[in-house]
Structure 1
């Protein structure tokens, strides 16, 4: 375990949450207070109207509660990277209104916070530690309950026993009542009539989630995971009898990649049209095809590299040296394949417009290219090998942070409007489904196209005001723009903007791109 993430106390009998002494004593008073505050904030602020500042407020309460467990430990650079990345993702709902992206950003933020608290330096730790807070939440809740039992002694008929009974009853009832209400509208209506304030069970359920997050985070920080689940698995090495078993397939794969790269350089990047005529295709069609296949090529290349470096015996220096050369050539060629994939994506977007999925996939391809560069660096500098797992994971975290910070809906809308200004065509059905971050770009469209594109967003904004903690700055900006320039309800949408544009039919390709 990384010394930067060692537990506060030595892991031995009678210490730690899993040991007898701390287990009997339960959570300290500061953790109990932080858990209670988090539960109250979750019950008050985590409402169904949406996410905004409330996500940041609740996350701050969880972080303060977890900080009790890390006091006395020196914060290392890697811990700071994970913490800052998680904090940036939690703040996304406050800045942007891409509601479809919020579940992903919050899930990645929770994973980053888990790694910051539990530590992680090996491939196994990087793969498992992001789930530490969730998986160890029951342990943390039990830890908090024991601390509560210490504060409120167990005596028959005492106020402490009554308080514990009320808390446990409320939590258990809230969880199951909220699930039943979500599954059956009639039962939900019945509950709203029987219970004063129909949201009481929902808010109690949210409070229970707040308790689980705060208790889980504090327990991971106080006593990082070290059980059987978190230990490195003992995976037996695949027996490699000779060099031919891995060298020949890898060398043939290098030749195959080299042939593909030559085709890309000659046709895609070099501007030679002869092979295109032989294949009976246009340059635009050629540039657009094959992105998904090349994305999978990059993924499988990383798998092949990992298997080769794992299977080649370490006690054979000559074999290891040959493997490094063959893997290095494969990684360099895979980078060219990745560049070709991104070029094809750019050509497709230039013709048919940017979309959420294309943006996310382009980000994934960029991340894998960064991983390939890291692999090449590890082949040259041995010191990079030790940080390769963390570098790979941090690169993924940074990719998500950059995409979320830039607001995919804002980027998609801006590119689609620029495409409309250049070609006079727009997939109106698609841009109508974008969120409030798209409003500044769509506001540049001329009427009546502007009103047609913004009509659904304006209707959503007019549904009602959200509390201050459930809104976003993007929503406020959109409301201000639409208030200054209201959408024309009577605007008729031009037929040339009907759904259908955005397909890959040859007739949709602008003449200049053929």
Structure 2
């Protein structure tokens, strides 16, 4: 046995080569012999590197590998067709509300998860805001409603809860373009029996369908006048030069619907980025400044009560001002006080310590007192503006500022409730919802008609009226201006012809324009011979 094995030499396999650009692993790795001279628990190479934490975007807004479902693509294309059919540059009407409804349906109705109640609520508010265009024509009011409607639409899709989630959710469509493009690209080409349908074939099928509809639709329209009238009423008249614009509208609206659907399906959790409350500051550091501010508010409210009890005699005797000058001078300062008070409340809620019962009781008492006094300050500002308007008349800016002040008063009530309960997760959404409801209430008031009615009533009492300002109001004011005497009526309605058309399509239908059109048709204004009075 020994001789037989003596002639053989043991062969040792050489170590496996290490790929270029890679360092050898630790000595405990498989395939590497343990180094007898190593020291420490991990050897000369040290501890293994810590895993790299995921980026905040991957943690808060994960990108899934699935593509857009076929239902989303169909819904987005439908929203694009609605947008290309009902949007016009010169007039808004009932069509824009239908467009927003189509976009929201594409984003929420195809959502795989259950739609939350707050999403449904903001969706209803968004449709209502855009629906204002079907009953009002004032450009300034429609601009505010459209901006607020866009905010409500985004909140309906993103469903943020905290202020951080709402703010980042409002900006999320700006960062969703590339994400939506990838998500749509993975689902735009459907699989048919395990093979992808070529894009060229899909375009050919679409073109053939459109061509067949155009050819046979034109033949049917030429064969039957009733069918031609039906098609003409449903399909907007488009010049050949406008086809490019309509195609752009289709692409833009469809892209917006896809972005909304992507945000709804791959919902970001921006609330996770909201800063956490720390231990808070000791009671003396926030209670003393807040108590001093409450005392100052109490002194101011006391002065307002004295002025209210004594009337304008106290104002004239003390400040040397007329009551109208007193009202105009103080309103804007009180509006700034209201906004700054909200900032103070937000800071105190953030830094106040709530560990002991005394801390919580002090916070409740001081915040409750400050919010109550702030509501009284809001009431004083509203009273001042009302007195000023009673002396000088109503304008759009004054009405808008009054509506803003009413909303701030509601916000203080909500903040006071949240401060007493020391729970305010519901507060951000409720604050925005009350702002939207305030704007809808202003639209329901019909500001231009309200201004015209008060001006006509004031003319009946005092004989003074600013016809030049009234002639610049929208068609919403036409029924009220129709009550003026013939000479003033002709001047006030001189520009009404430019606000209404002889006829309009169904998707631009508007209640105020319809009423103004009827007034102009039945009692057209004569030649204006007055400038203002």
Question: TM range, normalised to the smaller chain?
Answer: 0.7 to 0.9
Cα pair 2:190 2:197 within 8 Å, conserved: no
Q: How does 1:86-97 map to 2 (within 5 A)?
A: 86-97=126-137
The verdict on how the C-alpha distance between 1:466 and 1:134 changes in structure 2, with shifts beyond 3 A counting, is farther
Equivalent residue number for residue 172 of structure 1: none
Equivalent residue number for residue 359 of structure 2: 319
Equivalent residue number for residue 442 of structure 2: 403
How far apart are residue 284 of structure 1 and its match? 2.7
Distance (Å, rounded) in 2 between the aligned partners of 1:441 and 1:123: 43
Equivalent residue number for residue 61 of structure 1: 102
Secondary structure of 2:139's partner? coil
How far apart are residue 271 of structure 1 and its match? 2.0
The verdict on how the C-alpha distance between 1:400 and 1:130 changes in structure 2, with shifts beyond 3 A counting, is farther
After alignment, is 443-452 or 231-240 more displaced? 231-240
Equivalent residue number for residue 306 of structure 1: 346
> How many residues are matched?
442
Equivalent residue number for residue 41 of structure 1: 82
Cα pair 2:71 2:110 within 8 Å, conserved: no
How far apart are residue 154 of structure 1 and its match? 6.4
Which one of the candidate residues 486, 493, 509 is aligned to 2:530? 493
Distance (Å, rounded) in 2 between the aligned partners of 1:381 and 1:252: 23
Equivalent residue number for residue 6 of structure 2: none
The Cα offsets for residues 327-368 of structure 1, whole Å up to 9 and x where unpaired, read as: 222111111110000001111111222222111111111111
Distance (Å, rounded) in 1 between the aligned partners of 2:405 and 2:511: 30
Q: How does 1:58-457 map to 2 (within 5 A)?
A: 58-70=99-111, 73=114, 75-76=116-117, 78-133=118-173, 135-150=175-190, 158-160=200-202, 197-226=240-269, 231-234=272-275, 240=281, 242-271=282-311, 273-382=313-422, 385-457=424-496
Distance (Å, rounded) in 1 between the aligned partners of 2:157 and 2:288: 44
The verdict on how the C-alpha distance between 1:137 and 1:104 changes in structure 2, with shifts beyond 3 A counting, is farther
The Cα offsets for residues 94-143 of structure 1, whole Å up to 9 and x where unpaired, read as: 11112332232122223223222322222222333344456535533442
Equivalent residue number for residue 472 of structure 1: 510
How far apart are residue 272 of structure 1 and its match? 6.2
The Cα offsets for residues 449-487 of structure 1, whole Å up to 9 and x where unpaired, read as: 11101101223325x643221231110111001111111
Root mean square deviation, CA, Å? 2.9
Equivalent residue number for residue 63 of structure 2: 18
Distance (Å, rounded) in 2 between the aligned partners of 1:19 and 1:72: 15
The Cα offsets for residues 30-57 of structure 1, whole Å up to 9 and x where unpaired, read as: 1111111211221222121211021022
Equivalent residue number for residue 42 of structure 2: none
The verdict on how the C-alpha distance between 1:155 and 1:61 changes in structure 2, with shifts beyond 3 A counting, is closer
Cα pair 2:283 2:353 within 8 Å, conserved: no
Cα pair 2:452 2:480 within 8 Å, conserved: yes
Distance (Å, rounded) in 1 between the aligned partners of 2:279 and 2:504: 58
Cα pair 1:454 1:487 within 8 Å, conserved: yes
Secondary structure of 1:73's partner? coil
The verdict on how the C-alpha distance between 1:237 and 1:422 changes in structure 2, with shifts beyond 3 A counting, is farther
Distance (Å, rounded) in 2 between the aligned partners of 1:208 and 1:368: 40
Q: Point out where structure 1 has 5 or more consecutive residues left out of the alignment.
A: 1-12, 165-195, 498-514
How far apart are residue 209 of structure 1 and its match? 1.7
The Cα offsets for residues 128-164 of structure 1, whole Å up to 9 and x where unpaired, read as: 3344456535533442333222369768894348899
Distance (Å, rounded) in 2 between the aligned partners of 1:156 and 1:330: 67
The verdict on how the C-alpha distance between 1:27 and 1:332 changes in structure 2, with shifts beyond 3 A counting, is same
How far apart are residue 420 of structure 1 and its match? 2.0
Cα pair 2:368 2:420 within 8 Å, conserved: no
Calculate the TM-score normalised by the size of structure 2.
Answer: 0.76
Secondary structure of 1:79's partner? helix
The verdict on how the C-alpha distance between 1:347 and 1:272 changes in structure 2, with shifts beyond 3 A counting, is closer
Distance (Å, rounded) in 2 between the aligned partners of 1:157 and 1:492: 66
After alignment, is 144-153 or 229-238 more displaced? 229-238
Q: Which protein is bigger by CA-based radius of gyration?
A: 2
The verdict on how the C-alpha distance between 1:134 and 1:449 changes in structure 2, with shifts beyond 3 A counting, is farther
Calculate the TM-score normalised by the size of structure 1.
Answer: 0.79
How far apart are residue 17 of structure 1 and its match? 7.9
Cα pair 1:112 1:130 within 8 Å, conserved: no
The verdict on how the C-alpha distance between 1:146 and 1:429 changes in structure 2, with shifts beyond 3 A counting, is farther
Secondary structure of 1:385's partner? coil
